[in-house]
Structure 1
Amino acid sequence: MDILVVDDKKSVQSMLSELLCAEGHSVETANNGLDGLGKAQKGNHELFVIDHLMPLMNGIQLIKNFKKNPDLADKKVIFITTQGSKSLKSLPEYSLFDKVIEKPFDKQKFLSVLSELTETAFECESIQLNA
């Protein structure tokens, strides 16, 4: 699967890239929402992993732009946040996310969420991410 990881933290990009590549996926990274939008429009990604709070364009703004683009509108989105999923549920944009993961999360939790979206089972030892 071709996946775009959009996060302004290099440690999160590296961890997710290593994890997803080890599972056989192709991964591209972007440093912020604006960078992510450009790469998404040029690429053929099947899944997006998008951070909530980023410079230049936050994750919610990025997803709103995706939904306006017919080529991106139906792609799956895993939204990652430090703000807590309960606070996101009150946002009108909440329905735009396929899954929400709160930081910090471990690799097994991420693979479990990915599995739910892709209906593919993954196994990985649990390692805490403190990003």
Structure 2
Amino acid sequence: MQILVVDDKQIILDSLSVLLSKHGYIVDTACNGLAASEKLQKSGYDLFIVDHLMPVMNGIQLTKHIRQNSTYSSTPVVFMTTQGKGLIQSLCDTELFSAIIDKPIDEQNLLNTINSLLSSNTRYQSL
């Protein structure tokens, strides 16, 4: 399973890369939404972990872009935020996201969320 982690904080990219790699995932990273958008054309991802507040293209804009791409229209997106779920609900349609998690990240909650999203998608059950 290949995961793209998008966050403007290098420490978050590094810590999630280590965590996810330890659990058998192949991890790619991008430092903002625009960089992630460019990577969508070059590689196939099974799941996205996207930060909310980033320069250049924020997480909401990136997720809308992901959903418009026919290849990724149903690919799970885990949205990370420090702003709280209530604010996200007031900013956009939360149906864009497969899950919303708060930062700082609870690693076990993130892993449980990823496992749940990937196992509930029949495309991944056959892999």
Please give the TM-score of this superposition, normalised by the length of structure 1.
0.87
Matched, 1:99 2:93: no
Aligned partners of 1:95 and 1:51: how far apart in 2? 16
Give 2:15's aligned residue: 15
Q: What runs of 5+ residues in structure 2 fail to find an aligned partner? A: 121-127
Aligned counterparts, 1:1-131, within 5 A? 1-119=1-119
Secondary structure of 1:42's aligned partner: coil
Percent identity between the two aligned chains:
45
Structure with the higher helix share, 1 or 2: 2
Q: Once the 2 structures are TM-superposed, how far is the Cα of residue 91 of structure 1 from its aligned partner?
A: 3.1
What is the one-letter code of the residue matched to 1:101?
Answer: I
- How many residue pairs match? The answer is 120
Give 2:125's aligned residue: none
What is the one-letter code of the residue matched to 1:79?
Answer: F
Q: Once the 2 structures are TM-superposed, how far is the Cα of residue 54 of structure 1 from its aligned partner?
A: 0.3
Q: Is the 8 A contact 1:60 1:93 kept in 2?
A: no
Q: Is the 8 A contact 1:50 1:59 kept in 2?
A: yes
Q: Once the 2 structures are TM-superposed, how far is the Cα of residue 93 of structure 1 from its aligned partner?
A: 2.6
Please give the TM-score of this superposition, normalised by the length of structure 2.
0.89
Where does structure 1 differ by over 3 angstroms across 4 or more consecutive aligned residues? none
Q: What runs of 5+ residues in structure 1 fail to find an aligned partner? A: 121-131
What is the one-letter code of the residue matched to 1:91?
Answer: L
Aligned partners of 1:110 and 1:69: how far apart in 2? 25
Alpha-carbon RMSD: 1.3
Q: Is the 8 A contact 1:4 1:40 kept in 2?
A: no
